[in-house]
Structure formats: C-alpha cells, structure tokens
Structure 1
C-alpha cells in the first residue's frame, strides 16, 4: 500500500522549491530588462545577450572553464575508478581507513583546500594558471568519483570475477569485460558530478588562478564587485540552462543504463 502524502507536506515542499528557485527566476527575468537595472522592468530586450556574445574576452574565459571542467572530470574519473577498484581489493579495516582519508577531502572547507594548494604551488615554484587550476580541480574531484563508483563495486558479486577467471579471462579482460561494464552507471555519475563541481567551483579556483587566466566563477565575482550589470544575469541564465541540459543528459544516460541492466537480467 502506498502512503498518500499529506497536504501540509506537499505545501512545505512547494514552499522550499519556491525559496530555492525564486531568486534564479528573478535573475533570469531581469536578464531581458531594457532598463539596465533590477529595480524595475522597463521592457523586453536581448541586448544584454548580444553584448555578452560579442565579448571576446568572456568567450575565452568560457572556453577555459569548459576545457578545465572536461579535462579534470575525465582525468579524475579515470583515477577515481582505479582508486575505487584498489580500495575494494583491500580488507574491510583498510577500506574504512582509506575511505576516511578520502572523505576528509570532501568535507574539508574549500578555503582550506585552496589555501593549501596555493602554498604548495608557491613553495614548489609552480606558476599559477591553467595547470594549477586543472591539478586542483582533479584533486578535489577524485574523492567524489570514488564515492560514486564504490557502491556499484560493492553490489557486484565476487562470483562474477571468479567465473570470468574460470573461463580463462586474464586480469585485463576481467577489468574491461566484467568490472567496467558493471560499474558504468557509477562511472557516468562520477564524471558528471566531477564536471559539475569543476564548473561550480569558486573558492579553490580563486586561490590558484593566476594573471592572464580566469574561469567563469572568478570572472562573475569580479564583475559583481564592479557593480550590478545585467551581463551577469545573462551569463548566469546561460549557465543555468547549461546545467539543466547536463542534468537531462545524465538522466537519460542513467535510464538507458538501467533499462539495459533489466533486459540483461531477464
């Protein structure tokens, strides 16, 4: 028997979503304001978007952000997958120790992580810029991928690996033909989570970015400090729509993976 949700619970849920999304829709609404301020809507215009697309410097910053996000997500996914497989191979006590160390990086404040990387790169004489941002994003994305992949590894029965080895499969074949196909949903989840975290990060990036290199989060912060401009609204609207697109893509990928899994079991 399915329990019916109470009207109070539905009302509470609606209020929570309104609180979360009202500022975003408010920002999107005023991105089409011809008045140039957020104090009153004077008329509909696309001038702010046109001005945004004509900004060559901002276009380069967008490319920097996307390249860093894709590279960090890809590299951290590869490292995280092999890290999760390595953790799964240890005994229970050692697994708990490694997972605790992994979780410390997730719960640590971004300010501490950013300051730590800044000190590390400064001591090592490493020039701040693209590579410092990339390495930092990889570092805080790997633990996220590990947490996404490990549950799928725990679900996998050891008998699958034993059966593959009994049939003559070597270690590489066991990895590519058995383990990776089974944990594919977790791998995609880890990749998209790492991609989202990289696109969204500000604190760590703010510490490790250098002169001549910037990302969208740092640029929006700099633009906001100079005064409220509806360019920020237009840029934020595009980012919000891009995020929704990523969520939809991830949803369809997980749905397809789940459907294939059901058909396989049948």
Structure 2
C-alpha cells in the first residue's frame, strides 16, 4: 500500500520540481552556447564565463552585493533574535499578536510600495542613495524574516530548562548564552541564510534605493537585459544560482551536524 500510494506522490513532486527548475536548466544549458543566442545550440564554449570574469565593473558589483548581503544578514540576525526573544517573553496574547502583525507588515507588503517608501524616507532624511541606503533597507526587510525563523524554536523550548538553569544558580546572561541560544541555533542559522538569500535576490526595493555609481547584481542584470539578450547574463545567473545552491547545501550540512550533537550547551558551573 505504501509503495502504491507513494508512486503518484513522487511522480507529482518530480513534475513540480521539473517545472520549477526547467527554466534554470535552460538558462544554464545555453550559457555554454558558442552561437550567442538561445535559439539553437551551435557548440560548447566558456566564452561567456570568461567575459563575466574579465569584467572589472561586474566584479565590483558582485563585491557590493556580497558585502551588502553579509552585513545586512548579520545585523538583521542580531536584531531579529533580540526581537524574537522580546516577543516570546510577552505573556498577553493580544500584545504578542499585535507585535507579530507589525513584524509581518514588511513581509506581506508589495516590494514596490516598500521601495518607494524607503526612497521617500531617505530623501526626507537627507541620506544619500548608495551603500548606506541599500544596507538600511535590506536590514529593515530582513529582520521580520529572522524573527519568523527564530520564534518557532523559542516556542518549542520548554520553560523548565530555563527554570532548572536558574535553580542551579546561573545568571541571566549564562542562561541566554548556554541554554537559550544553543537551543535556537538552527533557527538563527535559518534566519541568517534566509536573510542572506533575500538580500542577494532582492530587486524591487534595491532598484528604488540605489544611487548613481552604485549597483547590485539584481539591478545590473535587469539593466543588461534591457539592452538585449546576452549569454553573459546566462553565465552570470548560473554562477549566482550555483552560489546560492552551495549556501543551501552548506546550511543543510551544518544543521544536520548540529542536530547530531547531544545536549543544548555547556554544563552549568
């Protein structure tokens, strides 16, 4: 029975993943086409990848994107964990739900509205559009994501763990660093990598808050695509996809290794 019921489900999942990944595989396949178009494969070449690696301006843009993504992910993870801890400590259900609603506003709001709002805010505040404006906007929309990743882990933690640590004489900082944070570590890593991928992938918000002379990969790919189809875009997009895939696999391996370790932290003094 189990194998019979599992076969249609597996076939359905295969079709779904095939539909989702077919455009990416199509893009990847033609990134090696020597013909220069996406209509017919004429031969195998690394010409378009060489063009990407020889583009100095593109290298600077990649560096900008990675720096923005790492900084925004790290800062938003810090504030997101603090926000999740604060929300989890609220006892009144109405107040907790109100804060969660405020937290989710940036997630459910359209990116165009968020980008335009940030543009107006930075213009009124006198903040020059560029690195700072992009970083602040990415931190702002990444914090709610981290909160949503961390909060379920906090709710899974039994209050008796904290009570036992306090009964044994542990200070508040020791309880946080040796009991709470090790327990929610998978959620913290999930929030960090989600914020990292969202930052690297974002286009709509970044498009509004970038200034002259500063750009990220998503904005650059859009600008190049407007001038016509070039297989260097395929090569660049393939590299971004492989990098993102490596991040996901790395997170999976780290999470799997962390789940194999016994206990939640170091023994109490």
Taking structure 1 as the reference length, what is the TM-score of the superposition?
A: 0.95
* Distance change (3 Å), C-alpha of 1:262 and 1:175: closer
Work out the CA distance in 1 between the residues paired with 2:164 and 2:264.
21
CA RMSD, 1 decimal = 1.6
Cα distance, 1:14 vs. partner?
Answer: 2.1
Work out the CA distance in 1 between the residues paired with 2:3 and 2:43.
47
Which moves more between the two structures, 104-113 or 255-264? 255-264
Work out the CA distance in 2 between the residues paired with 1:7 and 1:171.
52
**Could you tell me which residue of structure 2 aligns to residue 194 of structure 1?**
195
Work out the CA distance in 1 between the residues paired with 2:87 and 2:5.
41
**Could you tell me which residue of structure 2 aligns to residue 180 of structure 1?**
181
Instruction: Kindly provide the CA deviation profile for residues 18-44 of structure 1, in whole angstroms up to 9, marking residues without a partner as x.
Output: 211111111111101111111111111
Work out the CA distance in 1 between the residues paired with 2:69 and 2:167.
41
Cα distance, 1:8 vs. partner?
Answer: 3.7
**Could you tell me which residue of structure 1 aligns to residue 79 of structure 2?**
79
Work out the CA distance in 1 between the residues paired with 2:5 and 2:69.
40
Which moves more between the two structures, 89-98 or 59-68? 89-98
* Distance change (3 Å), C-alpha of 1:159 and 1:262: closer
Instruction: Kindly provide the CA deviation profile for residues 139-190 of structure 1, in whole angstroms up to 9, marking residues without a partner as x.
Output: 0000000000001111111111111112111111111111111111110000
**Could you tell me which residue of structure 1 aligns to residue 158 of structure 2?**
157
Which moves more between the two structures, 5-14 or 30-39? 5-14
Cα distance, 1:104 vs. partner?
Answer: 1.7
Residue 233 of structure 1 pairs with residue 234 of structure 2: yes
Cα distance, 1:215 vs. partner?
Answer: 0.2
Map 1:112-131 onto structure 2 (within 5 A).
112-131=113-132
Cα distance, 1:259 vs. partner?
Answer: 1.1
SS at match of 2:261: helix
Work out the CA distance in 2 between the residues paired with 1:13 and 1:184.
30
* Distance change (3 Å), C-alpha of 1:9 and 1:90: same
Work out the CA distance in 2 between the residues paired with 1:263 and 1:61.
41
Instruction: Kindly provide the CA deviation profile for residues 26-82 of structure 1, in whole angstroms up to 9, marking residues without a partner as x.
Output: 111110111111111111110111111000000000000000000000000000001
SS at match of 1:44: coil
Q: Which runs of 5+ in 2 are unaligned?
A: none
Instruction: Determine if contact 2:62/2:217 at 8 Å carries over to the other structure.
Output: yes
Work out the CA distance in 2 between the residues paired with 1:189 and 1:4.
35
Which moves more between the two structures, 77-86 or 166-175? 166-175
Work out the CA distance in 1 between the residues paired with 2:264 and 2:82.
28
Q: Which runs of 5+ in 1 are unaligned?
A: none
Work out the CA distance in 2 between the residues paired with 1:231 and 1:167.
61
* Distance change (3 Å), C-alpha of 1:148 and 1:165: same
Work out the CA distance in 2 between the residues paired with 1:263 and 1:148.
18
Work out the CA distance in 2 between the residues paired with 1:212 and 1:106.
29
**Could you tell me which residue of structure 2 aligns to residue 56 of structure 1?**
56
Instruction: Determine if contact 2:179/2:264 at 8 Å carries over to the other structure.
Output: no
Which moves more between the two structures, 236-245 or 12-21? 12-21
**Could you tell me which residue of structure 1 aligns to residue 223 of structure 2?**
222
